[in-house]
Structure 1
Amino acid sequence: MKNLTVGLALTVLLAACAGVQSPPGAAPQDQPVTTQAVNPFERGPAPTTASLEATRGPYATSSTSVSRLRVSGFGGGTIYYPTTTSDGTFGAVAVSPGYTATQSSLSWLGPRLASQGFVVFIIDTNTIYDQPSSRGTQLLAALRYLTGSSDVRGRIDPNRLAVMGHSMGGGGSLEAAKTNPALKAAVALTPWNTDKTWPELRTPTLIIGAQSDTVAPVASHSVPFYTSLAATLPRTYLELRGASHFAPNTSNTPIARASVAWLKRFVDNDLRYSPFLCPAPAVGTTYSDVRSSCPFN
């Protein structure tokens, strides 16, 4: 009986050890990252560095144009979405262009994000001169249209929404997150805003600055925005080495890689993407400055 008891104990111990996984930061990024826990919001296969950097993800996409005459509170835009309905609903993100720009300045992001499993609405603003506070209000109006009236509303989980923007649109994404703390994620690309402090934000926030930005210099915009965020908030600052203010206006792999991982982690609650965010990437040829609140709660 004693030998039987010892044998059973050893069997249980070995089984438990076999189930132990390496910590997220140690996961090799050239291999798929998986999680044991079942997450109903996971969409798509396990990620790899190659899948995050690909110009298209696993989902086929389509798009539909929304006239400004059909909406109120913003200037219309283009919705990009996965064509499949077999995987359930998707999280959604509204995206604002910057000062004097239109949706075309960020059009590369539409199919790139949608093909990773999101409904993406790149908007036009009421006027090209709208300030960040107005752009934040318009992003929220776009999300209301997207989930309440759009032709693709049935594909969207209205409880998993995010905002994103460039320049004044990036400042607008912070404004939207301040107004609606229920948003799951905010991504600000070379953001500009006269408000430099954001301690009230409760939305996980990714800020991507550009080292050579002369329009929204990081010392007076991106860095103060980041440092003002609450210490308990999941947040990351990435500064693109040698890049200008307009880096987000053309296809950019570091921006896409970080944005997809951030949206997946916080909109889809997909822990398979944690190793691509924490530990934060090192300063080097891609980034001139990196700051993060890793590990995230």
Structure 2
Amino acid sequence: MQKETFVRTATRRRSCAYALACAALVAGCASSEGVAGDDDPAPDADVSGTVDARVGGETDAAPGTPDHDAAVDGGGDAGPGFCCASGDCLCHGPDPTGLTSSNGSYATDRFTISTGTVHYPTDAEPPFAAVAICGGYTNTGPEMAPWGSFYASHGIVTITVSTGAADQPATRSAKLLAAIAELEAENADPASPLFGDLSGRYGTSGYSLGGGATTLASASDPTLRTSVGLAAHSGVGTGVQVPTLLLCGQSDTTAPCSMSQGDYGQIPATTPKMMISIPGATHFSWFRPTNAGGTSGKYALAFQKVFLEGDERWRPFLLAAPGGGAVRTTNIVE
């Protein structure tokens, strides 16, 4: 399969978006003010540095072993199109038989670009979908690294976006969109590890103020495929057309579930949406997919598989009741 096949979407829509994002960065940074809250990483958060694959690279993460409740069948890729009725889908990984918050079957690597650190699978068959994810107040990017390796090990390219510690949601939203624009440039660059490998399917995600930022990004760019908010703070829902997952902690006093509930209620009924409130989860339960009892990673991955990649094999598991006292609200159907 020739990489040139997938270059076709590299610059399809973001020359103007990139310019707007850059303008928003200037305005956002000029008006940024701190928000009460302390989104420092939990003690087990990965704050390792980044590397550039162009000058040697470094193995990002070894494939993980699925959870006890996440058995898988079969081998690796069987090519795009077989996991949905329309054929318009990406089908990475073996057939799932359950949810998982563990790393997947693909080895991963990473490299740095100006907007953040890119995590990508090294032994999966392209084309790939991609997610841009950013952290919350006081976070600058590396705190979300476990999510980067997690998604990449399941076949989804991920950029953990570099931000200023005090960046507000509007600024973080602009940086999410700028990161996607730079991924598109990587897709068209023969010197990039991602040359010709991206499909044009993009989503955003974020934690706390970054969670608010992902709702803003999806409100401003309806061509995005997914928005996943982790304890989203200062988000919006009005006019959002992008499929949205909101995860919140029932013990979070900084970004309580009432914030996510407000965003969820504002999202139009015509937009696929889901909200899950997780018992015992606090405002610091989001730096790893395995935090919050693994519920966050399990449902975030299934959501990205169904709506970002279009992989319908995951829909039954996305719609499975979360259990453990978690409360789910959704308009998504079989």
Q: 2:123 aligns to what?
A: 84
Deviation at 1:174, TM superposition (A): 0.5
Q: 2:168 aligns to what?
A: 131
Deviations 1:118-150 (A, max 9, x none): 11000111x211111111111000000111147
Deviation at 1:29, TM superposition (A): 7.7
Of 284, 298, 321 in structure 2, the residue corresponding to residue 281 of structure 1 is 321
Residues 286 and 185 (structure 1 numbering): CA distance in 2 closer, same or farther, change over 3 Å? same
Alpha carbons 1:261, 1:273 under 8 Å: kept: yes
Q: 1:119 aligns to what?
A: 157
Instruction: Tell me the distance in 2 between the aligned counterparts of 1:84 and 1:179.
Output: 34
Of 220, 228, 232 in structure 2, the residue corresponding to residue 179 of structure 1 is 220
Deviation at 1:107, TM superposition (A): 1.4
Deviations 1:83-139 (A, max 9, x none): 136x121000000110111222211111111000011000111x2111111111110
**Structure 2 residue 272 is matched with structure 1 residue 234:** yes
Q: 1:245 aligns to what?
A: 283
**Runs (4+) off by over 3 Å:** 28-40
Alpha carbons 2:83, 2:90 under 8 Å: kept: no
Alpha carbons 2:101, 2:295 under 8 Å: kept: no
Read off the aligned partner of 2:283 and give its amino acid letter.
Answer: H
Residues 168 and 292 (structure 1 numbering): CA distance in 2 closer, same or farther, change over 3 Å? same
Q: 1:44 aligns to what?
A: 93
**Structure 2 residue 189 is matched with structure 1 residue 144:** no
Read off the aligned partner of 2:254 and give its amino acid letter.
Answer: V
**Structure 2 residue 122 is matched with structure 1 residue 65:** no
Residues 122 and 217 (structure 1 numbering): CA distance in 2 closer, same or farther, change over 3 Å? same
Instruction: Tell me the distance in 2 between the aligned counterparts of 1:247 and 1:47.
Output: 25
The alignment yields a C-alpha RMSD, in angstroms, of: 2.3
Read off the aligned partner of 2:110 and give its amino acid letter.
Answer: S
Q: 1:25 aligns to what?
A: none
Read off the aligned partner of 2:90 and give its amino acid letter.
Answer: F
Answer with 1 or 2: which has the greater Rg: 1
Q: Identity across aligned pairs (percent)?
A: 31
- 197-206 vs 39-48, greater mean Cα deviation: 39-48
Deviations 1:203-238 (A, max 9, x none): 00000011011111112x111111111111111001
Read off the aligned partner of 2:183 and give its amino acid letter.
Answer: L
Consecutive unaligned residues of structure 1, counting only runs of 5 or more, are: 1-27
Alpha carbons 2:103, 2:149 under 8 Å: kept: yes
Deviations 1:32-80 (A, max 9, x none): 599573455211211122xx425221211111133xxxx3xxxx32111
Matches within 5 A, 1:144-223: 144-149=181-186, 151-154=192-195, 156-193=197-234, 197-219=236-258, 221-223=259-261
TM normalised by structure 1 equals 0.78
Q: 1:101 aligns to what?
A: 139
Read off the aligned partner of 1:214 and give its amino acid letter.
Answer: T
Alpha carbons 1:181, 1:202 under 8 Å: kept: yes
TM normalised by structure 2 equals 0.70
Read off the aligned partner of 1:190 and give its amino acid letter.
Answer: A
Instruction: Tell me the distance in 2 between the aligned counterparts of 1:286 and 1:32.
Output: 29
Residues 36 and 108 (structure 1 numbering): CA distance in 2 closer, same or farther, change over 3 Å? closer
Consecutive unaligned residues of structure 2, counting only runs of 5 or more, are: 1-68, 75-81
Instruction: Tell me the distance in 1 between the aligned counterparts of 2:111 and 2:307.
Output: 26
Alpha carbons 1:146, 1:152 under 8 Å: kept: no
